[in-house]
Structure 1
Amino acid sequence: MVGPLNRSRTIATVVVLICALGVVVFCHYEMWKHHEIEIEEAQSLEIQPGDHFADIASKLQSQGIIQNIGYFELLARVSNSTGSIQAGEYSFSGSYTPVTVLQNLVQGNVVTRTLTLPEGGSFDEFLHVLESTPKIDFNLTNRNVETALAELKITGTWDQIPSNHGEGWFFPDTYQYTTSTPASEVLSIAHSKMIDELREAWTQRDPTTPLNTPYELLILASIIEKESGVIEDQRQISGVFSRRLTKGMRLQADPTVIYGLGDSFDGNLTRAHLNMEHPYNTYRNYGLPPTPIAAPSRAALHAAANPALGDALYFVSRGDGTSEFSATLEEHNRAVRKYQLNQKD
């Protein structure tokens, strides 16, 4: 029969052993959570909204990112983080401890990618970029311009911008996105940025410029952008167009004609094209076309707002991206023969 004294000793021994085991486990846990694991080959982990923490921990262990699910769950519970994991795509490479792994998941340090909406691109081209961009959520019903604008809830309430035409509304730039970022979110950011850039260019414009609204500035900037991507030439081109508008001359801008031809343009602009009747034929029509023809860059916006002084009324491409400017038709014809027809006087 075990007496009271022996029973007390047994209980004391068990308590001591439990405490000792607890100390050992605690020390092991403390060492584990700060132990660095070297991940030589990048491991990608996608967490969907609503994923259970246990499933996330299991994925981490199966990919060698953590080595003890139980400890990792304990770490998350102690830090009250089990419900704070951010959905998204993560990439792990290099040195990590369980603590830094958990911190990455809680802070939402997800993989960030970039996409570029090109300068001078059309709205349809922008939609194509977004539709073909990997890991993005193309959440628009289709690539129809009017449908896309309606779904974006963008209306033409600012300075006479029409609500059914997407050209020129979205700023061409490089944008960051994460896995499953909605395409509409990227376009909304690009739209807000274009409004900001256009407003800045308009407030800094030369007061003598023959433009009546910010939207007219946007239209002219889009033509300048398509005429030349050379920043040094853009203000000169703006000067030519501004003087033509002031003098009541037609702009005679090839890019507007090409835009009006749409998908029927095969890359060869002919005299017949210049004689066709449509709203974008600035060889037949006076003034600006009804809408922008592309997305202008910041440089083109400011070139449209501040045209260069001078007397040039004509310009022609030299074939190297730059332009030759002329004040008279005679000078211009010589430049055309030299640079486009490869002829000399």
Structure 2
Amino acid sequence: MAGTNHGLQKGGRLLRLLKALFLLVLVAALGAAGAGWWWLHHPLTLAQSPLDLDIEPGTLPRGVAEAVRKAGVDVEPRLLFAWFRLSGQGKQIRAGSYELTTGITPERLLDKLARGEESLRAVTLVEGWNIRQVRAALGKGDALRQDSAKLSDEDLMKLLGRPGVHPEGRFFPDTYTYSKGSSDVAVLKRAMRAMDKRLTVAWNERRPGIVLKSPEEVLTLASIIEKETGKAADRTLISAVFQNRLRIGMPLQTDPTVIYGMGDAFTGNLHKADLQADTPWNTYVHLGLPPTPISMPGKASLLAAVQPAPGKYLYFVAKGDGTSQFSENLDDHNRAVNKYQRGQ
């Protein structure tokens, strides 16, 4: 019986020891889990904020963890790599340029990298700008790689796949976002495709009877409408004036084309001699549309070019408030000029 009791006591001690070990392991596991949860949700320390992180294509998760550390994040790469693997998202990390800011946690960092939430910049191309203004704006683009800076307009269009095409008016005015280090050529390609699409839509919505014979003519007239319009409501009326003039063989006589043809020689004021200068874009000297667009037209001007207002308007004069007075004959036009321009 004594041996039996001794065996029972020994078995009881072993059971208590196993329970104690189990509790210790459980506590340790809970502690580790708690520490892990705290680490995942605790903001990382950054060398500065914002901080740029570049992940090159083909970088493996372990390399990404190292890149995070080298970028200026105070984190143990092996711990970060372990999180990448345990989460199951390590292989979903996308290459790109990222911006990390104060407060980002390991959990949010991985989510950002897996979603490809790159830091985006933006450049805005404005309606009515010419190609010089477009290229100047791209030249000032934040973190935008200047691949076209030293190219002539001709070489630029070759690079864009449009050899022999004049660049004026070929890019749609809009705001374009891009990731850090993107090429200015890539932005221009997007803007060119956008203009192609808008021009096709406008051409397909043209009103029967318009005098314009091709999408190219639509683009050119729309660029003039863009420069002549002070108030949006006048666009279709201005389109009507120019199309009526084209229909009867009357010169367009629009100042913006003259100014465009003068280039850098334009000082801010037009003179009589300027209106007589024989440049290809001088619509006082040459009949018909100028040889190229003179600016980037927006969607509204493209549609106005193919959907002119009804009426026989041949003239318009600025009223001084941004709107214009439209007339069907020269006598009415002269009276409008006297009223609005000469104060009579």
Alignment TM-score, normalising by the size of structure 1: 0.83
Q: Shift of residue 333 of structure 1?
A: 2.1
Displacement of 1:343 in angstroms is: 2.6
Checking the alignment, whether the CA contact within 8 Å between 2:93 and 2:116 is kept in structure 1 is no
Q: Against the structure 1 CA distance between its residues 124 and 143, is the aligned structure 2 distance closer, same or farther, given a 3 Å change threshold?
A: farther
Q: What is the alpha-carbon distance in structure 2 between the residues aligned to residue 209 and residue 135 of structure 1?
A: 45
Q: How many Å separate the matches in 1 of 2:89 and 2:277?
A: 70
C-alpha displacement of 1:271:
0.9
* Cross-structure match for 1:164: 165
TM superposition shift of 1:59: 4.5
Q: Offset of 1:89 from its aligned partner? A: 2.9
Within 5 Å, which residues of 2 pair with 1:55-94? 55-59=66-70, 62-63=72-73, 68-78=76-86, 79=88, 81=90, 84-94=93-103
Instruction: State the partner residue of 1:23.
Output: 29
Give the aligned partner of residue 324 of structure 1. Answer: 325
Please give the residue correspondences for 1:103-122 in structure 2 after superposition, counting only pairs within 5 Å: 103-122=111-130
The equivalent of 1:6 in structure 2 is none
Distance 1:229 1:91 in 2: 44
2:239 corresponds in structure 1 to 238
**Letter paired with 1:31:** W
Deviation at 1:166, TM superposition (A): 0.4
In the alignment, residue 36 of structure 2 is paired with which amino acid? E
Q: CA deviation at 1:105?
A: 1.8
C-alpha spacing 1:38/1:319, structure 2 compared with 1 (3 Å): farther
- Counterparts of 1:29 and 1:71, CA distance in 2: 12
Distance 1:217 1:249 in 2: 18
How far apart, in 1, do the equivalents of 2:80 and 2:53 lie? 18
Letter of the 1:142 counterpart: K
> CA shift at 1:34, angstroms?
3.7
1:32 to 10, 34, 38: 38
Is the 8 Å Cα contact of residues 136 and 179 (structure 1) preserved in structure 2? yes
Which secondary structure does the structure 1 equivalent of 2:223 belong to? Answer: helix
**Could you tell me which residue of structure 1 aligns to residue 252 of structure 2?**
251
Shift of 1:43: 2.9
**2:173 match: secondary structure:** coil
CA distance in 1, matches of 2:165, 2:197: 20
Change (3 A) 1:291 1:74: same
Q: Deviation at 1:267? A: 1.1
Offset at residue 72 of structure 1 (A): 1.5
Q: Aligned residue for 2:180?
A: 179
| Deviation of 1:98 (Å) | 1.4
Give me the identity figure in percent: 36
SS in 2 for 1:90: strand
Q: Is the 8 A contact 2:251 2:283 kept in 1?
A: yes
Asked if the contact 1:44–1:91 (Cα under 8 Å) also holds between the matched residues in 2, the reply is yes
**What does the per-residue CA deviation read over 1:47-88, in whole Å, with 9 as the maximum and x for residues that have no partner?**
15277434333257x556xx5544222102333627835230
What does residue 293 of structure 1 align with?
A: 294
Residues 197-244 of structure 1 deviation map (CA, whole Å, 9 limit, x = unaligned): 111111111110001111011111111111114220010000001111
**1:247 Cα offset (Å):** 1.1
Which residue type is aligned with residue 51 of structure 2? Answer: S
**8 A Cα contact 2:66 2:77, kept in partner:** no
For residue 56 of structure 2, the aligned residue among 49, 54, 76 is 49
Q: Is the 8 A contact 1:32 1:98 kept in 2?
A: no
Q: Does the 8 Å contact 1:91/1:110 carry over to 2?
A: no
Answer whether contact 2:69 2:76 (CA < 8 A) is retained: no
Contact 2:53 2:67 in 1 (8 A): no
The SS at the match of 1:37 is coil
Aligned partners of 2:222 and 2:304 also within 8 Å: yes
Where structure 2 has 5 or more consecutive residues not aligned to the other structure, the ranges are 1-13
| Aligned equivalents of 1:197, 1:20: Cα separation in 2 | 65
- In structure 2, what is the equivalent of residue 3 of structure 1? none
Q: Is the 8 A contact 1:138 1:183 kept in 2?
A: yes
Match status 1:276 vs 2:281: no
Whether the 8 Å CA contact 2:89–2:114 is kept in 1: the answer is: no
Q: For 1:92, give the aligned amino acid.
A: T
Q: Which runs of 5+ in 1 are unaligned?
A: 1-8, 156-162
Of structures 1 and 2, the larger Rg is shown by: 2
What is the number of equivalent residue pairs in this alignment? 320
Alpha-carbon distance, 1:20 to partner: 7.0
TM-score when normalising by structure 2: 0.84
1:77, 1:227 → 2: CA distance? 61
Give distance in 2, aligned partners of 1:54 and 1:246.
Answer: 68
Deviation, structure 1 residue 25: 6.8
Q: Contact 1:53 / 1:82 at 8 angstroms: preserved in 2?
A: no
State the partner residue of 1:4. Answer: none
